Amino acid sequence: MKCESCSADIPPESERCEFCGSHVPRAPLVPASAPVPSRSEIFQRIKSSAEYQAAAIGQGLDTPAVPTALFFQTGFLAFFCCAAGFMTFIFALVAGPMCVFPLFMLAIGIFGLMKSGTTTYSYASAEATPVPAIITSKRVEMRGKRGTLAHYFATFEYESGERDEFPIWEQSLFGKLAEEDAGVLIRRGPVAVGFRRVAM
């Protein structure tokens, strides 16, 4: 080993150069990284965690009757269908064949309302259930005529290896999710209503 100041040869364990007296810098000790837990160990830790044990006995599983965003979406679609139905009736009386356009819009509205209504009914009739899961991905899909309506989604992997993608109706919840986080997914029917991260 050589001294950085005078280039003299010095023993590797030296703290100062015996020739010029310069301090010999030491490389910081790098702590050994903790072993990465296997997939089965991750799920075992989730199930033995305080977060999962509390959720399993129903603590903190209070959820809204209907997510706010889902409620407003269903209400908007119902209003849209009423407006499109009224326009179809008026066009049928006044313009005859021109009623095809509002009739088409009515059909789109009814389809969306049925889909939203099914989700609302499934959510309302289900109980909140805790499930050990790992977040594998999250994404934002922009919709609307000008692409200004953000819809949030997250994919969760279960212990069985199966995966489900859920719409995330609450933006605040979406902001708390991070890919590769492991924890307790709180699901109610087809809707993810919460996630409790478990430290690994």
* pLDDT in 10s for each residue of the chain, 200 residues: 677 776 777 777 777 777 666 666 766 655 656 677 888 999 999 999 999 999 888 877 777 777 777 888 888 889 989 998 898 888 888 877 777 888 888 898 899 889 888 888 888 888 889 999 999 999 999 877 776 788 899 999 999 999 999 988 888 889 899 999 999 999 888 888 889 999 87
Q: What is the pTM of this model?
A: 0.66
Q: Which domain holds residue 106?
A: 68-124
In a domain, 173, yes or no: yes
What are the backbone angles phi and psi of residue 36, rounded to the nearest 5°? -75, 125
Q: If you ran DSSP here, which 8-state letter would residue 151 be given? A: E
- How many C-beta neighbours within 10 Å does residue 84 have? 20
In a domain, 1, yes or no: no
pLDDT for 19 equals: 65
In a domain, 107, yes or no: yes
pLDDT for 179 equals: 92
pLDDT for 28 equals: 62
pLDDT for 68 equals: 79
Same domain, 193 and 163: yes
Same domain, 113 and 163: no
Please say whether the dihedral angle defined by the alpha carbons of residues 57, 188, 70 and 51, taken in this order, is positive or negative.
positive
Residues 108-151: tens digit of each pLDDT: 889 988 988 888 888 888 888 999 999 999 999 987 777 678 88
143-149 long-range contacts, CB within 8 A, separation 24+: none
pLDDT for 137 equals: 95
Distances (CA, A) of 36 to 24, 29, 41, 155, 192: 35, 21, 10, 22, 28
| Number of domains within the chain | 2
Query: What whole-number distance in Å separates Cα of residue 111 and Cα of residue 191?
Result: 19
Please say whether the dihedral angle defined by the alpha carbons of residues 94, 100, 102 and 107, taken in this order, is positive or negative.
positive
Same domain, 82 and 108: yes
pLDDT for 34 equals: 67
Same domain, 113 and 146: no
Q: What is the CATH number of the domain that holds 183?
A: 2.40.50.660
